[in-house]
Every structure is written in structure tokens, then in C-alpha cells.
């Protein structure tokens, strides 16, 4: 029997309904004549507190609230890739066909196309035993062998019927002896993490193509990172760059309460881009959840949970997944608004007391894992969450909660952004807790001196920052030549290594080998210059060498030509210093 109640209070996106006897926490409800989608977030006796995922304008006290008896679930199966969805996984294209350019209230649209046929190839035969998470077959989706899995919440059993052929996602492709029918898709509650067989420690970096991240502050494959920064510091451009060039098999981009024009830019630009690893369109490995700032605030929470559930599904396929959440601050603001509407006791700065636990529950669903079921698969979820602290104040609650949870912290600085230094990551405030875990990976994949060069670069930048304070007080003339050389080397590191253009065809994506080559060139130049100063060469003569200009142009050398270029450049460098010294001696 359906559980029905009636509205007794409406407060923005939150409503209170009475007569909801038998309703459960997080059950989905339909509200009012138009059947607005909502979710029960608190129960007191027969009174239910509901957050509504659609605009509540025009709702009346006394209208019906009907529980579906199920939690908020999403459809998982073939057809998700290349998709653009709203916060509750309704395809925007389907909604547009139904109702026009603006999403109408109470609209219903299935996430997966019920008409499209997929060619199903069985991996098991009649009589085989299958259990939770086992792959019973696969379909080809773009370049992926999309596994059809026994849902992890099913017990499994003996296969009674399975056949190769063309199926829609809703048609039965496999039948078990106990009568259970398996289709190409299944449903999963978004708030419930999918089970794992075993968690693994992250041991390799998530290579992003951004030099400052890959070399100085790497994030692990299966790690978590926070990007806090004030408005205009480049959070969205940074996440878009990670989505484009990150070494992930599947990208999920969650636009959670951000500006509509930024989502428009993503929707406009991504379909035109080509994946550098496969040569195929980038959207073929991408899903976008567009939940802009003018959409109802309650849907922000749903969009974050929907995104991480999609990520877990692709992890269970054995893929490396990267999830970009832009921005978790907007989700926290939605929690604050709904909490205040429900008259809960506020904590710091008005946020609810459960802010930290909600953020932690989200970030902890990241990780590298052995998946449940056969054949054995390993997958990972790397989560990068943007944080938008008001006025760039990193002491505010959302930033502090993110700091405690994430393993990598990329602090964006508006002073760097105003100087047009992008990515505007402050190298003195950022850190990565994952670097020590990558020693074995660096040993196998990078030259032996990589870690030494990285540590030297960090120390040189720190030294330069200290000397810059002296320069601002007394001017550069008070410094000795070797100290002025430190400032010049720091400037080369900042401008020629840390700076990177997101809009350059060549420089937007920098492989780790090229990053290493540029870093080696700058530090080799610094070593040669320091030795030349000790031999009596003038600093001005060193600063007039054309090699400084050549270092500045290295980032624009194409990837396939770089190895030859850097090898020849390193050979010529001692000769250039020798020639300059001889020229100075004869002058």
C-alpha cells in the first residue's frame, strides 16, 4: 500500500509532510500535483522532512506527498558515455525534446536509451555459477568492452539461459535457475557505496599533463585532491585541463552549482577535443553532470552522489576513473540552506555540524581497489574537488574540512592569477602527501635523478622567495652575485616551468618526460652559471647568454621532437659558457 501524506509547511526547497507513517529515511517521494521529485532527509514520528530536487514555486499546503518506497537510485549500463545529465541523471537532451530548452517541473526521463540495441557477447555458459559482481558478458561501447555485471546486491546462482544477440538495456540477456533475470542495466542507490573485494594502497601517480602538479605536487591514481581558491583564480580551467589531459580511462565532470556559462563552455568545447592517447573524441570517455547555480539547491547534493556512483560503476568495470567536482563549496552552501530551513542547530559559519562527515563520506569513496567478482579486475577513482572559499580565506570550514580529508592540496592564489601566472598554484602553500609512495614507480619509469631534481627545484623556489623579501626591502643591489643567480634561476623555474598555457596546442598537455627535461635544463643552467661565477665570470655576461631564451621556448617544442632537442641543448650548454668566458677574457 502506498504511503501518502500531506504538506503542512513549505520553506523554499524544504517541505514538511504529515501522515507519512511507514516512510523510511532517504526514500524518494513525489510532491504535489506535478509530482516533483524529493527525498526524505529527516523523520519525526509520522512527520517527514523532504528536500525537493525541483522548484517548489506554486506548491500549496495540503497537497499530497507520496513515497515511492525506494531510495534515490540511478540506472547503470551501456549508453552512459557521451551523456550530459542533470543532478538526478536525467539526460538533458531527452528533457529538451520533451519540454523545450527549459527543464519543466516533474519531468521524467530515463538515463539510458530504451530503443538502442547493443550486441551482447556472453562470457559464461549455461550451468556456470555466477555471483555478485561477476561479468556474464560484454557489449562494445565506443572503445570500451563494457562488462555486463551481476549487480553486487544480488546473490547470483546457476545460469539457466544466456544467448548472444541484440538487446536493449531493458531486455533480459541472462536468466538464472531461480528465475532471476539479468538485463544489460541495473539500478543502484546513490548514497550506498558499491562493495569492494580489497582496497589497495595508491602506488602510482595520476599523470595530468600539468608540470607543477606532476612534478611538485602529484596526486595518486585513486587519490583525492582539493583545489581551493578565490573567484577568478582558475579552479574551473584547472579542472577542465585535468579532464582533458588526465591519464584516466573515464572522466566524470560534475558541475555542482557553478555558473551556467562555464558548463556551456564545457559542453561546447569537449565534443571538439581529441583524446591524445586514443585519437578518438574526448567525449567518448566522458560523462557530464550539469547542475548549474540557477537549478534548485537540493539537487547539488544529488549531483555529487550521482557522480561518485557512476565513478564506482566504471571502477567495477576495471577502469581508471577521474571525477571532477566543481565545486564542493556550492554543495556545502546547499546543505547550509536546507539545514537552516529545517531549523537545525548551526555550527561554524552557519554550516551544519555534519558538514565534515558528509564531505568525508564523499571523498572516502575514492581509492584504488580490487573489484568484486570474476574475472579479477582492478580499478581506481581519483577525486578532485574544487573549493570556493569566500574572499580566498582558507580558514573557513569547507576548506579546513577538505584539508583534513584530501591527500593533495593545490592552493590557488589570486595574486598569482592577477599577475597572469597560470596555473595559479602557490608552490609555497601547496603540498602532496602521496609523493613518498611513488618511489618505486619513479625508479621504474623515470630517470634516476628525477626525485633529486624535484627536491632541488622546491628548495630553490623557497630560497628565491626568502631573497625576494630582502629585495623588496633594500633592492637587488644589496645581494651578492650568487644570490642574484638564485633569483634568476627561481624566475626561470616560475616562468618557464611552472607557468603553463591551457589554451596552447603544444603546451596545454606536457608529458612527464618533457617536464623532467625542462626541469633538468633549468637546473643544469643554474649549476653551470654558479660554477662560472666562482671562476670569475660576470653575472651580466651569464644573463646575456641566448640559452636563457632557449629555455623559455622549450615548452613550445612539440613532444615528438623534444627528446632530440634537449639532448643537443645539454651538449651545447658547457660550450656556450666556455665561449662566453673566452670572449670575456679577450675583451
CA 360, CA 372: separation in Å to the nearest integer?
A: 23
Mean pLDDT of all residues belonging to the chain: 93
pLDDT at 587 (0 to 100): 63
pLDDT at 452 (0 to 100): 97
Q: What average pLDDT does this structure show over 286-296? A: 89
CA 217, CA 409: separation in Å to the nearest integer?
A: 8
DSSP 454: H
CA 549, CA 551: separation in Å to the nearest integer?
A: 5
Cβ-based neighbours of 13, under 8 Å, separated by 6 or more: 51, 52, 56, 296, 297, 298, 337, 338, 341
- CA dist list (Å): 275 to 17, 209, 248, 281, 290: 49, 13, 11, 6, 21
pLDDT digit string (tens) for 193-209? 999 999 999 999 999 99
Specify the range with the lowest mean pLDDT, choosing from 18-32, 200-214, 228-242.
Answer: 228-242
pLDDT at 531 (0 to 100): 94
pLDDT at 583 (0 to 100): 82
- CA dist list (Å): 219 to 198, 358, 444, 454, 545: 21, 22, 18, 15, 37
Is the preceding peptide bond at 108 cis, omega within 30 degrees of 0?
no
Beta strands in 172-241 (DSSP E): 172-176, 181-183, 186-189, 196-200, 224-228
pLDDT at 438 (0 to 100): 96
The pTM score is 0.94
- 60, 32 contact by CB (below 8 A): yes
pLDDT at 295 (0 to 100): 84
End-to-end CA distance of the chain: 100
pLDDT at 119 (0 to 100): 97
Is pLDDT above 70 for 260? yes
CA atoms within 13 A on the CB side of 75: 21
Helix and strand counts by DSSP (H, E) for the chain: 16, 26
Is pLDDT above 90 for 586? no
Specify the range with the lowest mean pLDDT, choosing from 65-69, 134-138, 389-393, 568-572.
Answer: 389-393
**What is the pLDDT confidence band of residue 7, given thresholds at 50, 70 and 90?**
very high
Identify which of 247, 252, 381 has the alpha carbon closest to the alpha carbon of residue 318. Answer: 381
Residues of the chain with pLDDT > 90: what percent? Answer: 82
Identify which of 328, 490, 477, 309 has the alpha carbon closest to the alpha carbon of residue 396. Answer: 328
CA 531, CA 526: separation in Å to the nearest integer?
A: 9
What is residue 350's three-state secondary structure? helix
CA 337, CA 359: separation in Å to the nearest integer?
A: 16
**What is the pLDDT confidence band of residue 585, given thresholds at 50, 70 and 90?**
confident
Cβ-based neighbours of 583, under 8 Å, separated by 6 or more: none
User: What string of DSSP letters covers 294-349?
Assistant: TS-THHHHHHHHHHHHHHHHHHHTT-EEEEEEETHHHHHHHHHHHHHHTTPPB-GG
Is pLDDT above 90 for 103? no
pLDDT digit string (tens) for 132-168? 999 999 999 999 999 999 999 999 899 999 999 999 9
**What is the pLDDT confidence band of residue 1, given thresholds at 50, 70 and 90?**
low
| Residue 447 CB-density burial (10 A; 0-12 exposed, 13-18 middle, 19+ buried) | middle
**What is the pLDDT confidence band of residue 512, given thresholds at 50, 70 and 90?**
very high
CA 213, CA 445: separation in Å to the nearest integer?
A: 17
CA 135, CA 155: separation in Å to the nearest integer?
A: 14
pLDDT at 571 (0 to 100): 95
Q: What average pLDDT does this structure show over 61-68? A: 96
Cβ-based neighbours of 403, under 8 Å, separated by 6 or more: 226, 394, 409
Helix (H) or strand (E) holding 530: helix 512-534
Beta strands in 372-475 (DSSP E): 378-387, 408-409, 431-432
CA 320, CA 222: separation in Å to the nearest integer?
A: 8
Q: What average pLDDT does this structure show over 215-238? A: 94
Q: What average pLDDT does this structure show over 489-503? A: 95
**Backbone phi, psi, residue 530, to 5°:** -65, -40
Cβ-based neighbours of 113, under 8 Å, separated by 6 or more: 79, 168, 169
pLDDT at 232 (0 to 100): 84
Specify the range with the lowest mean pLDDT, choosing from 15-29, 253-267, 413-427, 544-558.
Answer: 253-267
Amino acid at each position: 500500500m502506498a504511503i501518502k501524506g500531506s504538506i503542512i509547511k513549505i520553506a523554499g526547497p524544504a517541505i514538511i509532510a504529515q501522515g507519512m507513517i511507514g516512510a523510511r529515511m532517504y526514500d524518494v517521494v513525489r510532491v504535489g500535483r506535478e509530482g516533483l521529485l524529493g527525498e526524505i532527509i529527516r523523520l519525526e514520528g509520522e512527520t517527514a522532512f523532504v528536500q525537493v530536487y525541483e522548484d517548489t514555486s506554486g506548491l500549496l499546503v495540503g497537497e499530497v506527498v507520496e513515497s515511492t518506497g525506494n531510495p534515490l537510485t540511478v540506472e547503470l549500463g551501456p549508453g552512459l558515455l557521451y551523456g550530459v545529465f542533470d543532478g538526478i541523471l536525467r539526460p538533458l537532451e531527452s528533457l529538451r525534446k520533451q519540454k523545450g530548452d527549459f527543464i519543466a517541473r516533474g519531468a521524467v526521463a530515463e538515463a539510458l536509451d530504451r530503443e538502442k540495441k547493443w550486441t551482447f557477447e556472453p562470457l559464461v555458459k549455461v550451468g556456470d555459477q555466477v555471483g555478485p559482481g561477476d561479468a556474464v558478458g560484454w557489449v562494445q561501447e565506443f572503445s570500451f568492452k563494457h562488462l555486463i555485471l551481476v549487480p553486487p546486491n544480488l546473490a547470483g546462482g546457476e545460469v539457466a539461459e544466456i544467448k548472444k544477440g541484440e538487446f536493449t538495456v531493458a531486455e533480459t540477456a541472462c536468466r538464472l535457475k531461480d528465475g532471476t533475470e539479468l538485463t544489460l542495466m541495473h539500478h543502484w542507490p546513490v548514497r550506498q557505496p558499491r562493495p569492494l573485494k580489497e582496497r589497495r594502497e595508491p602506488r602510482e601517480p595520476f599523470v595530468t599533463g600539468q608540470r607543477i602538479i606532476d612534478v611538485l605536487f602529484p596526486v595518486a591514481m585513486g587519490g583525492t585532491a582539493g583545489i581551493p581558491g578565490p573567484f577568478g583564480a582558475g579552479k574551473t580551467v584547472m579542472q577542465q585541463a585535468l579532464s582533458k589531459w588526465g591519464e584516466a580511462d573515464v572522466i566524470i565532470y560534475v558541475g555542482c552549482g557553478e555558473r551556467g556559462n562555464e558548463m556551456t563552455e564545457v559542453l561546447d568545447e569537449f565534443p571538439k577535443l581529441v583524446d591524445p592517447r586514443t585519437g578518438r573524441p574526448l567525449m567518448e570517455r566522458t560523462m557530464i553532470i550539469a547542475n548549474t547555480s540557477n537549478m534548485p539547491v537540493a539537487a547539488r547534493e544529488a549531483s555529487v552522489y550521482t557522480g561518485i556512483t557512476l565513478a564506482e560503476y566504471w571502477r567495477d568495470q576495471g577502469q581508471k576513473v577521474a571525477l571532477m567536482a566543481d565545486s564542493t563549496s556550492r554543495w556545502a552552501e546547499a546543505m547550509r540552506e536546507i539545514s537552516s530551513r529545517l531549523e537545525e542547530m548551526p555550527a561554524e559559519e552557519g554550516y551544519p555540524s555534519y558538514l565534515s562527515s558528509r564531505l568525508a563520506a564523499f571523498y572516502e569513496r575514492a581509492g584504488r581497489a580490487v573489484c568484486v567478482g570474476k574475472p579479477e579486475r582492478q580499478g581506481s577513482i581519483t577525486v578532485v574537488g574544487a573549493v570556493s572559499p569566500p574572499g580566498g580565506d582558507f580558514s573557513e570550514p569547507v576548506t579546513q574540512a577538505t584539508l583534513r580529508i584530501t591527500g593533495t592540496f593545490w592552493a590557488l592564489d589570486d595574486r598569482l592569477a592577477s599577475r597572469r601566472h597560470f596555473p595559479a598554484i602557490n608552490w609555497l602553500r601547496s603540498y602532496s602527501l602521496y609523493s613518498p609512495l611513488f618511489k618505486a614507480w619513479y625508479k621504474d619509469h623515470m630517470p634516476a635523478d628525477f626525485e633529486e631534481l624535484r627536491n632541488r627545484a622546491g628548495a630553490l623556489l623557497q630560497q628565491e622567495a626568502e631573497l625576494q623579501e630582502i629585495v623588496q626591502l633594500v633592492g637587488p643591489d644589496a645581494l651578492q652575485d650568487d644570490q642574484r643567480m638564485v633569483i634568476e634561476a627561481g624566475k626561470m623555474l616560475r616562468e618557464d616551468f611552472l607557468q603553463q598555457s591551457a589554451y596552447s596546442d603544444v603546451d596545454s598537455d606536457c608529458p612527464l618526460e618533457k617536464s623532467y627535461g625542462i626541469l633538468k635544463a633549468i637546473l643544469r643552467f643554474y649549476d653551470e652559471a654558479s660554477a662560472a661565477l666562482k671562476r670569475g665570470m660576470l653575472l651580466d655576461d651569464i644573463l646575456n647568454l641566448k640559452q636563457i631564451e632557449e629555455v623559455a621556448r622549450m615548452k613550445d617544442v612539440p613532444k615528438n621532437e623534444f627528446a632530440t632537442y634537449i639532448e643537443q641543448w645539454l651538449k651545447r650548454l658547457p660550450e656556450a659558457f666556455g665561449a662566453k668566458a673566452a670572449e670575456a677574457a679577450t675583451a
